[in-house]
Structure 1
Amino acid sequence: MSTVADSEHPSQSGHEVAVVGAGPVGLLLAGDLAERGIRVVVLERENEPHSGPKANGIVGSAAVALAKRGILTGTRLRVMTPPRFQFGSLPLRLGFGPGNPLHILPVPQRRLEELLERRAVAAGAVIRRGCEVLGFAQDADGVDVDAREDGATASVRALYLVGCDGAHSVVRKSAGIGFPGFTSDRIARIARVCIPADVITVMRTADELTIRGVGSVAPMRPNRMPGGSFSIAPVRALDPTAPDDLYLINTHEPRGQAEPTDPLPVEELRASLRRVLGADLSFTDATAARSIVANSRQADAYKVGRAFVAGDAAHIFNAGGSALNAGLNDAIELAVRLAAVLRSGAPVGELNGYETVRRAAGERTLVHTRAQAALERDDDGTNALRDIVGEVLNGRGASRRLARLMEQG
């Protein structure tokens, strides 16, 4: 519902920047702008925040940026430098101490959105939920956003528009920006499930789980299995209030003719687990079950006139933690440049630097996420490549070099 009156001119409506999408990227951008005194409105199609699980954390420098902003203050969330991590299905041995370049923040996306929205609203940003953006037009002085709100058409005028509205971005499409790339030939099936205590045993170091009928698996990372890959994580690692028997499970296998499904039938989840694990996994109470097919794409442009794209509207990767890291860094960079123009008297050309910097960063992330996906394939050539690369990564120096690439975002 709208909290401010619509207007045809920014000086009347008070909107200097309109952000489309109240996900983590849009909310961080709104908060960064509002804290600099910029009048910002966020237009979000959904009436309520998404309650199901999405991303489970941030991998890279954006985690540190959030901590520096005080967003984690008063929570139990902590940025960590993991001594071990994964590059695709290969382990990175990063070690302890200041030489470890990789930062991670385990956090459910919904919790992250709550924290970012609270900060943005406290700083003066306006969040308009139930406001579906249909398109926009721009002129020399600003942008007119066409929307549907409360069953009626609405128009929002702002000086600048930023599309943080996801992979199917209306802003990107309305701006005529291409989105080249490819769709994976593998499918992931994801769910939260309750696994009885007599089915799963957590080893003392918590680095290994033993599943009845399956054997030992490593938590929080992909495990190569007979029919694909499998990952499992205790939800308590992300939400300390979750019950001990609640786990997030994920299978990856060849897609065939399957299409992504939300919600995913439990029977399909069980069948996928049976194919991937080579055995049945006993569980109850499957929730938030869905299947997804990964894409790897980057927008042809990040800026057209007064309109910008950021986050999944600008790029999508097949590694969720890296995708969120890149999107949040988009928001950080764009906020600095918009503030320089709107508050510090910088020339408008300053905004062109956003595309220069962030497209290059997106290209780097495309490279390393595509490499990770390639290393997870199961064929003779990839198996040989994985053996060679795995030997190289036994050295801490090589592991840390890859970790620095993942950190940048």
Structure 2
Amino acid sequence: MDTDVVIVGAGPTGLLLACELRLAGVRPIVLERRPEPSDAPKANGLGGQIVRLLDHRGLLAPVREGSPYAGPVPTYPFAHIPLELSRLGDDLPLDVVLIQQPRLERVLADRAAALDTEIRRGHRMTALSQDGEAVTLTVDGPDGTYRLRARYAVGCDGANSPVRRLGGIGFPGTTDPGVVLLGHFRATEATGDLYEAPDIEVPGHGRLQSGWNRTPRGRVIVTSLHPGVHMAAVRENDPPPGAYDDDAPVTFADVQAAMTRVLGGPVPLGEPIWLSRTTTQARMAEPFVAGRVLLAGDAAHLFPAGGAALNAGMTDALNLGWKLAATLRGGAPEGLLASYATERGHAAERTLLQTRAQAELERLEEVADAAIPRLLAELLTYEHPLRHVAELMSGADARYAMTGADPHPLAGRVVPDLRLTLPAEGERGVAELMRAARPVLLDLAGDAELRQAAGPWRDRVDLVTAGCARPPARAVLIRPDGYVAWAGDTPDGLPEALAAWFGTTGEMVTATPGPPARPAR
């Protein structure tokens, strides 16, 4: 056996998973086919629960450094419908951090290096097979072809995942027949900076609106989330024959010509930084876990509306890391690794629901006098529908199933951002207790009976006694990924939850009941 885990892909999901495994004492090998980190700004930010979860690992501060905006947003688009989140008062449910993907990858690569993680760049996996004990990978590296044998392999290698394909894992779903050209452009003196002054006049069309600009021939969007950088996309309803060649790289002339055909005039874009073409897909791998081959990120799911992929993939990594490490150490509860597929599959289904709804609304908007978008926009002015959709977009609505017949309302959700008072340490946030990626049992009432019930698990669960101005329960058990495994006012159910997620006491064995098989909805 060469290593315990091989991670294929050094994007944000693969790098974060490597960091999680290292925190748990596992040494993965990360394979990345590109010889150098990509500078393509494919994603522009993070939003939703992943922002809070990065704070649990102390990663939020470096991610926010230099960001043009980081914090809760008062308004956010759901397709073309603006969600007026400011209507919800001070409790805004959607945090965002604007950061381009190359910089995000640098932050995560720096953390991986600080944790002494082995990342092999310029190493491309070409073959994969598995047996009952291990996965064998064939790799083409700078010094030739070699083989790696690992107990597990995780595909974090994108939408066209070779790990998924070679592992024989299906990827059912749909592909939109339309093609979108997109790119990032550096602002020039002639174009001005849209981040500072969003104002574009197109000859033959007029002033561009914020969001998508639709004509009978297609739609165009030009915007800016980062100073000095414009983002643009164009989709034609009926492009001329030969307009799109999948085998040729996209050129600036291609983008400009498509925009001119759609709008009737050229768009001042600036100097091209990165150009690409994409097709909208809605897919989910079946299954996420196939023997000793696992999938995370875009290899496991694709969503038809922007802004969801990074958040879902990085949350996959946080969910998988501690479970895979516990399985490798031995004595993990039965079903622990399978719960990764159950929980994150459920979350992916919820994300597919809201992104598919957005994609369908975008298509309906092109129909004259479409009633559904207008009615939905009206409904989303009310507090409860607005909060529901905002939580769906943030990922907060996906509640994992936990032990017990009547779990506490917190169970299965990300732990709230509690402010705690610790003896001799003063005030701290709950996120500061999660830096080491270990389970934490919060005793918020100084309950000796509760501490006695949890005592047999002290070798693997950190017991923290703290004061809290508004405790949600007398005690809260938090998994390493930040989700509440149990909460209550008495020790009832606590030993069962500890055993279900962190194994039996004494000698570590695998005979205890595992986490529930199906998620709560």
Give the CA deviation at 1:196. Answer: 4.9
User: Which secondary structure does the structure 2 equivalent of 1:380 belong to?
Assistant: coil
Equivalent residue, structure 1, for 2:231: 248
Alignment of 1:9-408 (within 5 A): 9=1, 13=2, 15-74=3-62, 75-77=65-67, 79-95=70-86, 97-150=89-142, 152-196=144-188, 209-211=199-201, 213=203, 214-218=206-210, 221-225=211-215, 227-234=217-224, 237-238=225-226, 244=228, 246-254=229-237, 256=239, 258-260=244-246, 263-343=249-329, 345-347=331-333, 349-377=335-363, 378-380=365-367, 383-408=370-395
Q: Mark the CA change 1:38 to 1:255 in structure 2 (over 3 Å): closer, same or farther.
A: farther
In structure 2, do the counterparts of structure 1 residues 135 and 117 end up closer, same or farther at CA, with 3 Å as the change threshold?
same
Once the 2 structures are TM-superposed, how far is the Cα of residue 186 of structure 1 from its aligned partner? 2.3
Moved more, 60-69 or 161-170: 60-69
2:202, 2:265 within 8 Å by CA — same for their partners in 1? no
Shift of 1:262: 6.2
Gaps of 5+ in 2: 399-521
In the aligned structure 2, how far is the partner of 1:348 from the partner of 1:130?
37
When normalised by structure 1's length, the TM-score is 0.87
SS in 1 for 2:337: helix
Query: Aligned residues, how many?
Result: 386
Q: Larger RCO: Structure 1 or Structure 2 (Cα < 8 Å, ≥ 6 residues apart)?
A: 1
Query: What is the aligned-residue RMSD (CA, Å)?
Result: 2.5
Paired AA for residue 33 in structure 1: L
Q: What per-residue deviation string (whole Å, max 9, x for no partner) do you get for residues 237-259 of structure 1?
A: 43x5xxx4x41212233365645
CA contact under 8 A between 1:203 and 1:209: conserved in structure 2? no
**Partners of 1:176 and 1:402 in 2: CA distance:** 35
| SS, match of residue 339 in structure 1 | helix
Q: Which amino acid counterpart does residue 83 of structure 1 have in structure 2?
A: P
Tell me the SS of whatever aligns to 2:43. coil
d(CA) in 2 for partners of 1:121 and 1:264?
34
Please state whether the residue corresponding to 1:275 is helix, strand or coil.
Answer: helix
Offset, 1:230:
2.6
Aligned partners of 1:165 and 1:171 also within 8 Å:
yes
Deviations 1:245-301 (A, max 9, x none): x41212233365645576312222112212333332134422312221121111110
Distance 1:135 1:255, change over 3 A: farther
Aligned equivalents of 1:313, 1:202: Cα separation in 2: 34
Give distance in 2, aligned partners of 1:186 and 1:231: 16
Counterpart CA distance in 1 for 2:70 and 2:152 is 33
Q: Deviations over 1:81-103 (max 9, x none)?
A: 11101111111110174422112
Please tell me whether the aligned partners of residues 262 and 291 of structure 1 are also in contact (alpha carbons under 8 angstroms). Answer: no
**How many Å apart are 1:229 and its aligned residue?**
3.0
Whole-Å separation in 2 of the counterparts to 1:18 and 1:148: 15
Aligned counterparts of 2:115 and 2:133: Cα–Cα separation in 1: 26
Higher mean C-alpha displacement, 53-62 vs 16-25: 53-62
Contact 2:234/2:259 (CA < 8 Å) preserved in 1?
yes
